[in-house]
């Protein structure tokens, strides 16, 4: 019987409702019930349990997963909480199945974002920091100097986040435009990095996530090809292993 039990956040992600992180937030907010009882974090679900989110029954998956590449326009917010944000990505796309974005792209930014109903692949992509390249084209408010390129590429301490950015690839395109490839996902990272160097971002577009390239007009989406999906899964194949090793290391350090 114990082999049939699943952690509640995993159950919701495998059912295609949301990612595990989002599921944890729903559980913490008291919006999830098991057999009409509000559960604690870490509760497990049995095959005959009835799981609901906001009163809606969430059942086991019956269909194949959806994987979309979407060109997000400026002004659209990457949230699934349609009750709070009217300009949200879910209402904008209006896809016939429930899907959710993989990561985020700021409201004033545009470009590529992936959407899916596969909660497990979301977690693997977000964990795959070593292979999770994201490429952007950025325009700033003043001429780009070689010093600016070197500072951006070398890593910057962001005081308000108390974090250093990782070294990254930066290339000047023209007088006001550069490309940058990140493997981090800090909040408003590129804008913060530019601000540190006394530059202001005028436009920011993401053109690639790992092996997936932006190739659809603004506001439109397409399904990933079989080849794209295979290459993507190859890139994130070690992410679970890396995550588990990190958690074991954290637990060992905690015991000391």
Contact between residue 13 and residue 102 where contact means Cβ atoms under 8 Å apart: no
Report whether pLDDT(209) > 70.
Answer: yes
Contact between residue 207 and residue 213 where contact means Cβ atoms under 8 Å apart: yes
- Per-residue pLDDT band for 191 (boundaries 50, 70, 90) equals very high
- Return the ∠ at Cα 192 (arms to 191 and 193), rounded to 5°: 90
DSSP 4: G
- Return the ∠ at Cα 132 (arms to 26 and 185), rounded to 5°: 55
Please report the pLDDT score of residue 8 as a whole number.
Answer: 92
pLDDT digits (tens, 9 = 90+) for 4-13: 788 898 888 8
pLDDT digits (tens, 9 = 90+) for 150-162: 999 999 999 988 9
Active-site residue among 36, 48, 106, 238?
A: 106
Please report the pLDDT score of residue 3 as a whole number.
Answer: 58
216 backbone dihedrals φ, ψ, rounded to 5° = -125, 155
Catalytic status, residue 54: no
Site of tokens 């990140």: 182
Report whether pLDDT(250) > 60.
Answer: no
Mean pLDDT check: name the lowest of 119-123, 201-205, 236-240.
236-240
Contact between residue 239 and residue 125 where contact means Cβ atoms under 8 Å apart: yes
Contact between residue 51 and residue 57 where contact means Cβ atoms under 8 Å apart: yes
pLDDT digits (tens, 9 = 90+) for 51-106: 999 988 887 665 688 999 999 999 999 988 777 778 899 999 999 988 989 988 99
pLDDT digits (tens, 9 = 90+) for 98-136: 898 998 899 999 999 999 988 888 888 877 566 689 999
């Amino acid at each position: 019987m114990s082999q049939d039990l699943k952690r509640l956040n995993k159950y919701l992600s495998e059912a295609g409702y949301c990612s595990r992180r989002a599921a944890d937030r729903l559980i913490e907010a008291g919006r999830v019930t098991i057999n009409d009882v509000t559960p604690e974090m870490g509760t497990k679900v049995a095959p005959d349990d009835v799981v609901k989110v906001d009163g809606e029954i969430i059942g086991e998956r019956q269909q194949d997963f959806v994987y979309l590449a979407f060109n997000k326009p400026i002004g659209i917010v990457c949230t699934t909480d349609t009750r709070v944000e009217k300009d949200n990505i879910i209402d904008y796309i209006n896809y016939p199945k429930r899907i959710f974005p993989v990561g985020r792209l700021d409201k004033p930014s545009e470009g590529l974002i992936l959407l899916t109903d596969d909660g497990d692949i979301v977690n693997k992509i977000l964990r795959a920091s070593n292979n999770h390249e994201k490429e952007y084209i950025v325009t700033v408010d003043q001429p780009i100097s070689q010093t600016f390129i070197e500072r951006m590429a070398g890593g910057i301490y962001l005081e308000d986040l108390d974090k250093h950015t990782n070294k990254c690839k930066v290339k000047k395109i023209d007088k006001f435009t550069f490309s940058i490839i990140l493997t981090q996902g800090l909040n408003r990272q590129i804008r913060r990095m530019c601000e540190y160097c006394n530059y202001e971002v005028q436009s920011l577009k993401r053109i690639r996530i790992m092996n997936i390239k932006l190739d659809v007009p603004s506001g439109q989406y397409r399904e990933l090809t079989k080849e794209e999906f295979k290459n993507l899964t190859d890139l994130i194949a070690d992410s679970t292993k890396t995550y588990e090793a990190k958690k074991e290391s954290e637990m060992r350090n905690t015991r000391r």
